[in-house]
Structure 1
C-alpha cells in the first residue's frame, strides 16, 4: 500500500533542511501531509511536537507510522521506498557512486567555509577560503557539462551537478545552502555570487540556479534575498560585515525594498543585486498579482489583526528573529482603518493603483494605517506566504497605498 507520509517542517519555511526533504517529496510526487511548527528563533515548540521530537529538531517525518529525524535519514528512507515507483527520476538515486560522493563532500566544504566567514567579522583569509570552495563548485558544474576550461554555459541547456536534463540528489543537497549563501554574502559581505547587471564571476553557478528555477519543485520552494538575508541571522547566531569590506548601503537598500515601487521592472529584468524572477514556465504578472490578492483576501481575518500588531504592544518574552513577534498584541482600535487600507491594496492588485487610490476613504487614521501596512510589507515571507514575483508585486502595491495614506496624514 501507499505509505502515509507526514512532514513536520517550520512554519515560516526558513529551514534549509526542511527544504531538502520538501524538494525530494515534490520530485518523487509522494502524497504527503504537512504539519508546521515554529523554529526556536521565533517561537516555542508545542508540547505535542516535543513528544514526537524531544530535542525540538526539524524536519521530522512520519513514514508508515515510523518517526524519522534528520533530513538525510528521511531522504534515504523515501528514496529506498520509492526507487521502483519513480523510474523517470533515476537521477535522484545516483548518489552512491564516487563522483556523487565527491560532490557531496564539496558541498560540506563550501558550507563550512561559508559558515566560518558569514558568522564573524571575517578576514581576507576566510573570504579567500570561501571563494576557493565556490570556484571548485563552478569548476564541477562546468566539468559535469563536459565543457572546456573558460567555456561559457550553454544558453538553452540545463546545468546540473551530475549532468543530464534533471536535478539529482546532489543538486537538492546544494540548493538550500547555495540559495542562502547568495543572499547572505551579498547582504553582509558585499560579495555577489549571482549575475546582476554585470554578468557575474560564477557563470556556471548562475546557469545552475537558472536550471533549478526552471524546475517546478524548486521554483515552489525557493525564497528571495530579503527573506533569506533576514531569516538567517537568528538561526545561526548572527551574520556580520567585514570591517574592511565594501560599502553595503546600496546593496542593503535595494534588498530591503528601495526597488519595491510601481511600476516594477519586468520579472525577467535583472536588477543590480536581486536575481530576475524567471521560475518554471515564465512569469505572468497578472496571474502573480491575482495570487497575491488571493493570499491577502483568503487570509483576511488573520492578516488585519496581524498588521495591527504594529500599533499594539510588543510581545514578551521577545524572540531572536528580527521580524517575528508571536506574542505581540494587536491594537483593535485600528482594525477598521487597516481593513479599509488592505482592501485598497487588493483593489490595486486586481484593478489598478489609480482606482485604489481614488477609492481610499478620506479621514480616519491614515498615519496608523500606513504604519500597519509597512509592518505587513516587511513580513511578507517567500515562499511561506506566496511565490517571489507575487511577493514583489504585493510589497510594491502596499508601498503605493502607504504613500497615498501618508499624503492624507
Structure 2
C-alpha cells in the first residue's frame, strides 16, 4: 500500500530497521575483511623490509669488496707487522728493518696526551724502530703496577731505551736526537753551540710563554689575558714567516724539527678551545694567521702527523680536568654558534656538507669521500666490543669513576660494566641498523626504520637503547677510533638513530 499512514505501521518500521541492520552488518564484514587483507599486506611488506637487511658478517665481506675497505684492511695488516702508516692502534714500528727495537714508548692509548704526541712524531720523522705500550693518563684510568714500578711518578710519556727508563718529553727528545743520528736518522735539533741551537732554545721558550698566556686567557679569563695571548700568538705568526711558502716550518726549515713538534700539539688545543670558549677562529683564518695555517697545512701532509691529529670535539672533551673549566666569552658574536657546532648540534642525517663544524676544521678533504666506509669498517670489525661498550648505561658503574673527583674526566668510565641479556641485544640491533645506514652511503631507507621499530617496540626499551647510543656517540674519539670525517659520519648516523628511537612508535 502507498498510503501515507502505512509508513508508520509497526511492521513497516521493523522491516526497515532489519534491512538497515543487515546492510550495516555486511558492510562491517566487508570492511573487516579488507582491513585483514591490508594488515596482512602491510605485515608482509614490513617483514620483507626486515629480510633485506644483511648480517654483520655479510657487511664485513661487503666493505672489503670496496677499494677503500680493502685499502684499510691492507694497511691494518701492514701495521700488525710494524709497517704502514702510524695510527692509534699501532703497537710496533719497524721502518723496513727486522731488528728488535731498542726503544719502548709508553704513551696514552687515546692519543690525547700532547707530550706523547710530539715525542711520537719525532720517532716517526727520524724513523727509529720502537714498540708502543699503552698507559692511561691519570684522568682516564688506573696505571698498571708494572708501569709504576718502572716510573714511580706515573709520568707520560716515558721511554725505555736499552733497559733504562727516561721521563720528561723534551729531555727525551733531545737525548733521542743525540742517540739516533747519521744518514738513517735525520737530526731534529741543531748542533749545540751554534746560533741555530740558541735560536731553537728561544723558540722553545716562546712556546712556553704562549702556553701560559693561552691557559690564562681560556681557563682563567683574567683582565688583559686576551691581549697577552694575541700578542704571543702574533709573535709565533711572525716567526713562521721566515721560510716562506716552500719552507713553512720554524727556523725556515722544509722539514719539522723538535721546535715544530713542541708547538703543534698545543696549537691544536689552542685552535679548538679558543673557538669553543671564546668564539674566535684561528685555524682556517688565512687572512689573519697565514703562516700558522700554512704550518698546519704542511704538517697534515706528513705521514707522521696525518693520522694522529684530533678534531675539535675530542680536543675539547679530552683537555685534562686539572686545567680547570674554560671561561666562556658570552659577549663574542660567534661564541654560541661555535660552541653548538663543536658540541654536535648537527649530528644527524642527512649530513650537512656546509656545517659550521666542518668549516672550523679544514684539512680533512682527502678523507671525506670514503668517510662512511671507514666508519663502517671500524664498526663491523669491532662490533661485539663496540656493542658492549655502548650498553654500559644499561649495565653497572656508569659515572662512578668521576663521582666527587674533579681531577678525573667525566667521559672516562673505566669502572663501568656492560649490560647483558635484552638490553645488550637491543643495542646490537640498533648498531646493526647504524651499520646498514653507513653501508647505504648514509641514505635513510624505509627498511631501516621498519626493522628498528619491529625489533625494539617497547617504549622503555627504546629509551634505554637511545641512552646507550648517546653514550657511544659522545665517546667516539679522534684519532683513537677513526679520522674526523669518519667519526662525524658515525656520530650523525647514531644521532639519527637516537632521534628515531625517541619518537613514539606508531
Indicate yes or no: 2:483 matched with 1:387.
yes
Report if aligned partners of 1:251, 1:273 keep a CA contact under 8 Å in 2: no
Once residues 337 and 272 of structure 1 are traced to their aligned partners in structure 2, the CA distance between those partners, rounded to angstroms, is: 32
Indicate yes or no: 2:222 matched with 1:222.
no
Once residues 448 and 128 of structure 2 are traced to their aligned partners in structure 1, the CA distance between those partners, rounded to angstroms, is: 45
1:191 corresponds in structure 2 to: 280
Report if aligned partners of 2:173, 2:258 keep a CA contact under 8 Å in 1: no
Secondary structure, aligned partner of 1:68: strand
TM-score (norm 2): 0.71
Deviation at 1:265, TM superposition (A): 5.1
Secondary structure, aligned partner of 2:360: coil
Indicate yes or no: 2:341 matched with 1:254.
yes
Q: 2:138 aligns with which of 37, 40, 51?
A: 40
Once residues 340 and 329 of structure 2 are traced to their aligned partners in structure 1, the CA distance between those partners, rounded to angstroms, is: 18
- Any gaps of 5 or more consecutive residues in structure 1? 146-153
Deviation at 1:255, TM superposition (A): 0.2
Deviation at 1:81, TM superposition (A): 2.5
Once residues 214 and 341 of structure 2 are traced to their aligned partners in structure 1, the CA distance between those partners, rounded to angstroms, is: 23
1:149 corresponds in structure 2 to: none
How big is the alpha-carbon RMSD for the aligned residues of Structure 1 and Structure 2? Answer: 2.5
Structure 2 vs 1, CA of residues 47 and 208 (structure 1 numbering), >3 Å: closer, same or farther? same
Indicate yes or no: 2:421 matched with 1:321.
no
Report if aligned partners of 2:401, 2:412 keep a CA contact under 8 Å in 1: no
Once residues 44 and 200 of structure 1 are traced to their aligned partners in structure 2, the CA distance between those partners, rounded to angstroms, is: 45
1:137-286 correspondence to structure 2 within 5 Å: 137-145=236-244, 154=245, 157=246, 159-195=248-284, 199-242=286-329, 248-264=335-351, 274-278=360-364, 282-286=366-370
- Any gaps of 5 or more consecutive residues in structure 2? 1-98
TM-score (norm 1): 0.87
1:26-76 alpha-carbon deviations (Å, 9 max, x no partner):
212222221112211122222111111111111111112111111112212
Secondary structure, aligned partner of 1:354: coil
Deviation at 1:112, TM superposition (A): 1.4
1:328-339 correspondence to structure 2 within 5 Å: 328-332=416-420, 333-339=422-428
Indicate yes or no: 2:205 matched with 1:105.
yes
Report if aligned partners of 1:8, 1:61 keep a CA contact under 8 Å in 2: yes
1:333-371 alpha-carbon deviations (Å, 9 max, x no partner):
410010011112122222333347256332423332222
Q: 2:160 aligns with which of 59, 62, 80?
A: 62
Once residues 253 and 244 of structure 1 are traced to their aligned partners in structure 2, the CA distance between those partners, rounded to angstroms, is: 15
Greater C-alpha Rg: 2
2:234 corresponds in structure 1 to: 135
Report if aligned partners of 1:312, 1:329 keep a CA contact under 8 Å in 2: yes
Once residues 235 and 128 of structure 2 are traced to their aligned partners in structure 1, the CA distance between those partners, rounded to angstroms, is: 34
1:151 corresponds in structure 2 to: none
Structure 2 vs 1, CA of residues 48 and 190 (structure 1 numbering), >3 Å: closer, same or farther? same
Once residues 253 and 169 of structure 2 are traced to their aligned partners in structure 1, the CA distance between those partners, rounded to angstroms, is: 25
1:299 corresponds in structure 2 to: 382
Once residues 451 and 175 of structure 2 are traced to their aligned partners in structure 1, the CA distance between those partners, rounded to angstroms, is: 55
Once residues 429 and 359 of structure 2 are traced to their aligned partners in structure 1, the CA distance between those partners, rounded to angstroms, is: 34
Structure 2 vs 1, CA of residues 200 and 257 (structure 1 numbering), >3 Å: closer, same or farther? farther
Select between 204-213 and 359-368 the one with higher mean Cα deviation: 359-368
Q: 2:444 aligns with which of 354, 358, 363?
A: 354
